[in-house]
Amino acid sequence: MKKILLVLFAVTSLAVQAQQTDSVKPKKQVWPSFLTNEQMPDGSMYLPAPPAFDSQEFVADLVRYHWGKSLRNTPRGKQAHDEAELNVAAMLKVFSTPMGVTLNKAELPELADLVTRVISDASTATRKAKRHFNRLRPFLYFGEGTLIPEEEDSHHTPSYPSSHSAAGWTVALVLTELCPERAEQILKAGYEYGQSRVIAGYHYQSDVDAARMAASACVARLHADAAFQRQMVKAKKELEKLFF
């Protein structure tokens, strides 16, 4: 009986997935970035496939999904709601406390430019893998609501890996390099930014974990880019003036 249920579960999931389009057209880039789509490492080539719906790994995703749901009506849930907005101003706000100083575009234009570009690059780092694996988001798979219902209609893009989580981890790695004395606090904030996507119901834990791999690959590739290196120097000087 258990095997039969697993088979039915898998068949149902495949039927739901079949309703999706076979490919997802990438959105036109409107943010400036350092790297082109062609320059960015292709996540579909190095990331593992997301857990199959009849696998033990998916059970782990299911456990974390319910963990996230249990936190939605708590202060941690409010944090997840607040961190759903993905733009430079929101990202600078997320990392202000761990950096120990208020980060804003007006006072730190070079840093803001750097963060704007790496957010865009982080999104690029997940795009090919999203199209390749075409995983259904958890709130669509389970037919349940999310922490942020007003965004559900606009989030029918593939789930794996999470572009939000990749952006948060990419920014965390870059800021850690700029401010190594605050590394633990910055990395903790970047980690929790990704967990917020699980709590909100928009991603599985494995989506978030894979996003951190994509972010790390993104940052490694960025370091080979001369424009990125120059902008890092500018942002570093800007922060040094603010701190000292």
Catalytic (active-site) positions? 164, 197, 203, 207
- Calculate the CA 18 to chain-centre distance: 25
Q: State how far the Cα of 170 lies from the Cα of 88, in Å rounded to an integer.
A: 13
User: Which amino acid is present at 14?
Assistant: L
Sequence-ordered list of residues with C-beta below 8 angstroms from that of 106, at least 6 positions apart, any chain: none
Which of 195, 163, 229 has its CA nearest to residue 31? 163
If you search the block for the tokens 């068949």, which residue do you land on? 11
Long-range contacts at 184-191 (CB < 8 A, ≥ 24 apart): 185/97, 185/98, 185/99, 185/100, 186/95, 186/98, 186/99, 188/98, 189/94, 189/95, 189/97, 189/98, 190/95
